[in-house]
């Protein structure tokens, strides 16, 4: 029997700069998104939504974000300006995962945010399972009011991550991982 945990043990992020075409086709993307939204959801609040950025719209989004960054930080070095201008040009598809917090719910806000975060992580796992590459990024844009307005977010919403998806263009070596023994303890009364 194959190791049922190999998917988790082999999962790693592919840097967005190393993601290219092809993106998942429409039917594969729909299946990936359906899998991604199957998350623990205390109270069945569905405290998340997804925004697809692809094609010219993705590039326009990236250009507008770069303009915001440069406007807010005119002293930015040329290297940082270039990084901002190129950020959304590599991966062919980006999914913005948005937390939609229900302030009137008895479910704590942290649980609602974790639910949305699980959607982003499921996108990473699903992409890996499909042989695609993915990277979950936040950066300043996830916390910026102008970026939120550009995405049409309501006051109770915020980005938990921009998941960049595509086909890995190079083989990505795994990074060093922490030792379980350094992280696990056993509670005793």
Is position 66 within any domain? no
Its domain, for residue 101, covers 10-53+91-170
69: which 2 tokens?
A: 């960054």
How many CB atoms are located within 10 Å of the residue 69 CB?
22
What does the pLDDT look like over 155-175, one tens digit per residue? Answer: 999 999 999 999 999 998 899
The whole-number pLDDT of residue 124 equals 98
Report yes or no on 110 lying in a domain: yes
Is residue 186 in some structural domain? no
Residue 79 maps to a domain:
no
The closest of 95, 82, 15, 94 to 50, measured between CA atoms, is 95
Q: Provide the pLDDT for residue 99.
A: 98
Total domains, the chain:
1
Query: Does the residue 41 lie in any domain?
Result: yes
pTM of the model: 0.95
Residue 45, domain CATH: 3.40.109.10
Blockwise average pLDDT, block size 10, the chain, 189 residues: 84 96 97 98 98 97 96 95 95 98 97 98 97 97 97 98 97 93 97
Q: Helix, strand or coil for residue 88?
A: coil
In a domain, 42, yes or no: yes
Instruction: Match 């988790």 to its residue by tokens.
Output: 8
Structure tokens, 137: 């990024």
């Amino acid at each position: 029997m194959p190791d049922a945990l190999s998917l988790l043990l082999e999962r790693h992020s592919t840097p967005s700069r190393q993601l290219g075409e092809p993106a998942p086709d429409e039917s594969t993307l729909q299946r990936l998104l359906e899998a991604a939204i199957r998350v623990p959801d205390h109270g069945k609040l569905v405290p998340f939504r997804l925004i697809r950025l692809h094609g010219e719209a993705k590039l326009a989004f990236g250009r507008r974000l770069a303009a915001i960054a440069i406007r807010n930080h005119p002293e930015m070095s040329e290297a940082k300006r270039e990084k901002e201008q190129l950020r959304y040009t590599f991966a062919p598809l980006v999914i913005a995962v948005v937390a939609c917090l229900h302030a009137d719910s008895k479910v704590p806000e942290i649980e609602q945010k974790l639910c949305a975060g699980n959607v982003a992580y499921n996108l990473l796992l699903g992409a890996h399972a499909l042989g695609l590459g993915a990277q979950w990024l936040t950066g300043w844009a996830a916390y910026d009011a102008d970026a939120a307005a550009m995405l049409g977010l309501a006051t109770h919403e915020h980005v938990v991550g921009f998941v960049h998806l595509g086909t890995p263009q190079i083989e990505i070596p795994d990074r060093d991982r922490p030792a379980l023994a350094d992280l696990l303890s056993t509670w005793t009364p």
